[in-house]
Structure 1
Amino acid sequence: MVHPSSPHAEERAAPTPPGRRARRRLRGRRDRRGVALVMVLGAITVLTVFLTELQEETSTELSAALADRDALRAEYYAKSAVNLSRMLIAAEPSVSATIGPMLAIIGLKGNFQVPVWKFTDMFLGPFNAQLAEPGAAPPPEAPAEASSAAGKNLGLTGGGRFELKIVDEDSKININRGADDVGGIADQIMVGGQLLSLMSAAQYNPLFEERDGDGQFSDRATICSALIDWADPGDQAFACDAGTNAPSSTGAEDSFYQTVGLAYQRKNAPYDSVDELRLIRGMSDDFWATFVDPDPTDPDKRLLTVWGSRKQKINVTSANAQMLLALTCSTEFVDVAATPLCTDVNQQTAFLTVASLVQSMTGGILFPTPKDFVDAMTQKAGNSLGGMLGQQFKAMGVEAVKFKPNATKSLGNRTNFLSIYADGIVPGNKRETRVRVHAVIDLTGATKITEVEQNDNTLDQPGSNQPGSSQAGASATPDAYEKQVRSNPAGTIIYYRIE
């Protein structure tokens, strides 16, 4: 408190002029100007960062959920295609019996399988994709019951589809026959001869003059031996030599895979899949694209397989042109040095051209029977399809082939092993989801659909081997069980992979 007698009392007691107070308030507001704006901008920045992060996280989770959903849908589209393919395969005997007489009119005679699996678009097309928009009316020119879109259980909903390819494994070189616990040294020699014939053409020389996939120099015999030794459970290296006096073995197997620094050794057991061939020494990308799988988009052009049986006969009905050329020039069939087709590039080109053209015109059927194959290659005159093809080969400059006696007994025209490549496809806004299912079907022992129906009717008779009956227990042996399993007209799945 200021005393009245203080010299500052009068000054402090004097009121502040209004103008000065206004200037003070204005100066205070000027000092605080922009604070609110800074706070608002800061809040907006924080919210923007938060919302952006939230949006990215939500979008990522949504995209992942959509990808998983589409992948699941595509997988089941592919599985549906596999089941439909097995249904088509089971119907093959009935189809062959029905259209066989019609094919005989155009020269396709003989008891052979009609490769219905090459016409999947024709037989399974109504089950693929979406046949009509939901609620759409049938075309005015056709009644509703005449449209396949009006059928039940036809087509796929949701805009998805499948792509299907069925490949005959019996028309290829089965590497697993080189395992001596399966077929013995005779099968090893046969497979070795087929492999050498496949690789023998002069145009492939540069491939064996460069370093292979392991950085080494490997000739034809070395890679051929490596392919067989991988599946051969013995410890003796197989001598892959086309010479008649060649030894069957070159001594104990070496430790090549460990020597070059690979983290594995020979399997000494049969191959489980074709992809396992990539582990073999010398297997470069060029070798793979030339002799194993020339076109990954078309599995039918694959030349090697690992699925088959010891009694398997190479199916000349569905073998492609390059495979037929390799068989013809195998040491098992001909004297390679005395066969111009096996040494003349021009004749080989002419053979491949004619064979590929005929196959494209007949839906893949080139030689209905092994006899037609022999007649065509020996250029035997006649009215059969083989005889007519032989004249076409002759006109193109291909000289006749002289086969060894009984050499073609390993050829056939039946199929027991089929590969099903089914791609399930789901289109999206900016992407397309694909899932592939590869299944291998073994038709060994498979019965016809009519026989299965008869067996089912037999089980209904009194005293039959129904479950619980006395006769059922008497036949429940492992061999009987395996026979019953293999009686499935759709075959037995021996390999199944989802990619």
Structure 2
Amino acid sequence: MSRPGRHHAGRRASHPAAGGRARRRLRARGDRRGVALVMVLGAITVLTVFLTELQEETSTELSAALADRDALRAEYYAKSAVNLSRMLIAAEPSVSTALGPMLGMMGMKNIQVPVWKFTDMFLGPFNAQLVEPGVEPPPAPAGEGSAAGKNLGLTGGGRFELKVVDEGSKININRAADDVAVSDQLIVGGQLSGLIAPEQYNPLFEERDGDGQFSDRMTICSALVDWADPGDQTFNCDFKMEAPSSTGAEDSFYQTVGLPYLRKNAPYDSVEELRLVRGMSDDFWATFVDPEPSNPDKRVLTVWGSRKQKTNVISASAQTLWALTCNDNVVDRPATPLCTDPNQMASFLTVTSLVQSLTGGLLFPTVKEFEIAMTQKEDKSSVLGTMIGQQLKAMGVEPVKFRAKPSSFLGNRSSFLSIYADGIVPGNKRETRVRIHAVVDLTGAGKLEEVKPDPNELSRPGSNGAVSPATPDAYEQQVRSNPAGTIVYYRIE
């Protein structure tokens, strides 16, 4: 007979052990499920970092590629603007010849018409946006507009901004680089000393300059001439002294202050090179060299020009004309109120600047007009000069007595022109700009005349004996050579 009590006790004793094993199995299984979750989260994190880095790298490469593409397009837009402006410059003699009789009736003979002042008018159609292929063009009156023209306009949303500056209208410092005529250094020194002489500029020379030194007017003036002067002795801008201020080597200053270069003893290569000259501070630069960086026409000094070229009175700025007038070689400066009285100087700049703004940047068409205006004489054959002279007199400016004829330092023609062409390509969040600065030398440039056709490419003469015009290749060959001038400076920014 069995013992129920003992049998049940044995069964009760075995249950705790079985439950413990089950719990351990569940706990082990739970632990394994946590490891898998951690592994999955870790894999997702690694993949996320990898994909983020890949996306960032891809986006960077795409942005760089787009930037290079837009920069290349902008560069070629700028190059197109330079070529178009050269085409316009080459056409200037023809325009001047056509307008010669009319200008002669107004007393303006042998005038170089500054067609480059009107680039927007002449070259505007080339800068217009063409309609993309397959898109219906907007209606234009009588078929006019760039969309209806041939070889006009731009595609792709880009454009160019163009400005041509007459370098002959400024004071040419490189004239001092002539190693034959000493008078050229004296001319440049006199023009520079007249430019910086007014008393209102005294604070510029009472503080430390760009080299941490104290430099007066004559020191900086002499340094500007010495940089290009091929001589070994220090030039003296103070013409009142009989002997130079120093007979030592010009390079001693640059060596003394520890600058890593010496005086160049050769012509300036660019306007920016003026910053290397001793005493050149930001204030001096902004006052006398480049008063308005966004407008190169306001620049007073230049390094491009020939020794024989006179400053162009047609396009010279008001400050340049004042500096040329208040030159010790031209007038008795201490006895000329225009050069010593700040109020008369301000009145002169106001009147001449106003006239320039009304005439599109043109001031005196001839040297005679300038002389009549400055001496305030009345001349029935010089309407503009008489009118400006009366305005100066009304503003309290006293007449100027010239020692030398203004025709000795002023002219009405230019041979050096600066072309500032900006190629612009708009983007989604940015705008790409590339600037080309080219300087064209028109010395010896001839008139753009009709090219004789190639006999092998003539069409059959008509009943009136007319023949076909010259081929495009012949015109291109001529424009690329003499009439468009020679590029003597070229820089891509």
Q: Where on the TM-score scale, by shorter chain, does this alignment land: which range?
A: 0.7 to 0.9
Q: Which residue of 2 aligns with 1:36?
A: 36
> Would you say the 8 A contact 1:443–1:486 is kept in 2?
no
Q: Which residue of 2 aligns with 1:397?
A: 396
| Unaligned segments of structure 1, at least 5 residues | 1-9, 461-483
Q: What displacement does 1:382 show?
A: 2.0
- Are residue 199 (structure 1) and residue 196 (structure 2) matched? yes
What SS does structure 2 have at the residue aligned with 1:32?
Answer: helix
> Would you say the 8 A contact 2:128–2:146 is kept in 1?
no
Match of 2:489 among 485, 488, 495: 495
What SS does structure 2 have at the residue aligned with 1:251?
Answer: coil
Measure the CA separation in 1 of the matches of 2:94 and 2:194: 37
Measure the CA separation in 1 of the matches of 2:355 and 2:30: 95
| Unaligned segments of structure 2, at least 5 residues | 1-9, 458-477
> Would you say the 8 A contact 1:108–1:368 is kept in 2?
no
Measure the CA separation in 2 of the matches of 1:334 and 1:313: 18
Q: What displacement does 1:31 show?
A: 3.1
> Would you say the 8 A contact 1:258–1:265 is kept in 2?
yes
> Would you say the 8 A contact 1:129–1:160 is kept in 2?
no
Q: Which residue of 2 aligns with 1:179?
A: 177
Q: Which residue of 1 aligns with 2:357?
A: 360
Q: What displacement does 1:247 show?
A: 3.4
Q: What displacement does 1:149 show?
A: 1.7
Q: Which residue of 2 aligns with 1:253?
A: 249
Measure the CA separation in 2 of the matches of 1:231 and 1:31: 86
Measure the CA separation in 2 of the matches of 1:319 and 1:203: 22
Measure the CA separation in 2 of the matches of 1:351 and 1:100: 31
Q: Which residue of 2 aligns with 1:92?
A: 92
Cα distance change of structure 1 residues 24 and 138 upon mapping to structure 2, 3 Å threshold: closer
Q: What displacement does 1:407 show?
A: 5.1
Match of 1:220 among 217, 220, 230: 217
- In structure 1, what residue type is equivalent to 2:401? K
Q: Which residue of 2 aligns with 1:3?
A: none
Instruction: Name the Cα RMSD after superposition.
Output: 2.6
Number of residue pairs matched by the alignment: 459
Measure the CA separation in 1 of the matches of 2:361 and 2:232: 41
Measure the CA separation in 2 of the matches of 1:26 and 1:124: 87
Cα distance change of structure 1 residues 193 and 347 upon mapping to structure 2, 3 Å threshold: same
Match of 1:148 among 139, 146, 149: 146
- Are residue 433 (structure 1) and residue 429 (structure 2) matched? no
Q: Which residue of 2 aligns with 1:422?
A: 421
Q: Which residue of 1 aligns with 2:119?
A: 120
What SS does structure 1 have at the residue aligned with 2:432?
Answer: strand
Q: What displacement does 1:30 show?
A: 2.7
Measure the CA separation in 2 of the matches of 1:260 and 1:19: 94
Cα distance change of structure 1 residues 19 and 164 upon mapping to structure 2, 3 Å threshold: same
Measure the CA separation in 1 of the matches of 2:330 and 2:272: 29
Q: Which residue of 1 aligns with 2:161?
A: 163
Q: Give 1:309-320 correspondences, 5 Å limit.
A: 309-320=306-317
- Are residue 376 (structure 1) and residue 373 (structure 2) matched? yes
Q: What displacement does 1:133 show?
A: 5.0
Measure the CA separation in 2 of the matches of 1:74 and 1:138: 25
> Would you say the 8 A contact 1:328–1:334 is kept in 2?
yes
> Would you say the 8 A contact 2:440–2:485 is kept in 1?
yes
What SS does structure 1 have at the residue aligned with 2:129?
Answer: coil
Q: Which residue of 2 aligns with 1:465?
A: none
Deviations 1:262-303 (A, max 9, x none): 000011111111111110000011111111111111111111
> Would you say the 8 A contact 2:336–2:400 is kept in 1?
yes
Q: Which residue of 2 aligns with 1:469?
A: none
- In structure 2, what residue type is equivalent to 1:434? R
Q: What displacement does 1:56 show?
A: 1.1
TM-score (norm 1): 0.86
Q: Which residue of 2 aligns with 1:476?
A: none
TM-score (norm 2): 0.87
| Percent identity of paired positions between Structure 1 and Structure 2 | 74
Q: What displacement does 1:147 show?
A: 2.3
Measure the CA separation in 1 of the matches of 2:131 and 2:353: 37
Q: What displacement does 1:453 show?
A: 2.6
> Would you say the 8 A contact 1:239–1:246 is kept in 2?
no
Measure the CA separation in 1 of the matches of 2:107 and 2:395: 22
Q: What displacement does 1:260 show?
A: 0.3
Q: What displacement does 1:208 show?
A: 0.4
Q: What displacement does 1:396 show?
A: 1.3
> Would you say the 8 A contact 1:444–1:486 is kept in 2?
no
Measure the CA separation in 1 of the matches of 2:388 and 2:118: 23
> Would you say the 8 A contact 2:371–2:406 is kept in 1?
no
Q: What displacement does 1:141 show?
A: 6.0
Q: What displacement does 1:362 show?
A: 1.0
Q: What displacement does 1:370 show?
A: 0.8
Measure the CA separation in 2 of the matches of 1:365 and 1:27: 96
> Would you say the 8 A contact 1:213–1:283 is kept in 2?
yes
- Are residue 46 (structure 1) and residue 42 (structure 2) matched? no
